[in-house]
A and B are shown apart, each in its own frame.
Chain A
């Protein structure tokens, strides 16, 4: 496996890894969501990525954009909570950037992720600091772009993005939620880590770990 480029096989390996990590953290995500939400994030994400990988395993791909697109469609129809359309939009917008590409380097991946993030923000209208997935994704994708400009390898770029996502995720703990179900709790949402920022971190972790192997 060429660690400098993301090809069809690597992308499928990443999805397998996402499914495994989400499955392993299903109860953890649900526990976070039961503190400030409707206690379904782990179950929903696990259902979504299980269906997504099932679809991808049964298909043949000649470009990575088509894989991202199939993941997007699966997530939108099977997740059930707000994470469905949000992550679905992330993968859908990213797929447009990756359409027709047999492989992606760090620069193209960073562009695709930026498109995905823009889609998430346009749909959910979350601002930084609202205690959402965006709080993990913004610093991560900023770091990915910086690493691409500096000429980092794909793996190093993802390592830097992952470190920033982890920081962004932990930084959601003191925040008062402004979006989603947690916003109904107002001040009581402070002191809990955001489940959406956590699943975003876990997805980036899967990208990094799959490349490491």
Chain B
């Protein structure tokens, strides 16, 4: 199983985005959201991200993390430092728009692609056009 971890400044945003992406994911992909600071306010917590990553690593052979901005990226990178080298090698961070990226990652992951390809597709969400005509 491949895991997709959405990291947002708001726990509600993270969980909501994970929910939207899950709809497209099927059974082979686990999409999880984590966010907010320790007191439930706006922010990110390295400890919370580490806890969710460790849990996901128990059931997923690889994980693609999609952070929203700034501290979500830095807190994720700091959390990776607490993983073993073997665990760390299973995790990759995508530089993608958080909602569109998570959704496209979920679809790609459900086809059985490796995490590198899932990351690449998530990052291509930058080019996604919503208003076609």
Interface residues of A (CB under 8 A from B): 38, 40, 44, 47, 73, 76-86, 88-89, 92, 123-124, 180-181
Within the complex, the shortest CB–CB distance from A89 to chain B, in Å, comes to: 6
A76 to B38, CA, bound (A): 10
In the A-B complex, the 3 residue pairs with the closest CB atoms: A80-B43, A80-B37, A77-B47
Please report whether the interface of chain B is mostly helix, strand, loop or mixed according to DSSP: loop
Chain B residues, CB < 8 A from A83: 71
Partner of B37, one of A38, A78, A123, A180: A78
Kindly report which residue of chain B lies nearest to residue A183, judged by CB atoms. Answer: B70
A88 touches B46 (CB 8 A): yes
Within the complex, the shortest CB–CB distance from A162 to chain B, in Å, comes to: 26
A181 touches B46 (CB 8 A): no
Chain B residues, CB < 8 A from A40: 42-43
Partner of A181, one of B37, B47, B70, B77: B70
Within the complex, the shortest CB–CB distance from A194 to chain B, in Å, comes to: 14
Chain A residues, CB < 8 A from B75: 76, 82, 84-85
A76 touches B78 (CB 8 A): yes
Within the complex, the shortest CB–CB distance from B132 to chain A, in Å, comes to: 28
Chain A residues, CB < 8 A from B78: 76, 84-85, 88-89, 123
Contact pattern, B 76-104, Cβ under 8 Å of A = 1, otherwise 0 = 01100100000000000000000000000
Taking A77-B45, A82-B71, A123-B78 as given, write out 6 further A-B residue pairs in contact, using a Cβ cutoff of 8 Å, ordered by the A residue number.
Answer: A44-B37, A76-B47, A78-B37, A80-B71, A85-B71, A92-B81
A80 touches B70 (CB 8 A): no
Kindly report which residue of chain A lies nearest to residue B43, judged by CB atoms. Answer: A80
Chain B residues, CB < 8 A from A86: 74
Q: B26: CB under 8 A from chain A?
A: no
A180 to B71, CA, bound (A): 8
Pick the most buried of B45, B69, B70, B81: most chain A CB atoms within 10 A of its CB: B70
Within the complex, the shortest CB–CB distance from B13 to chain A, in Å, comes to: 15
Q: B41: CB under 8 A from chain A?
A: yes
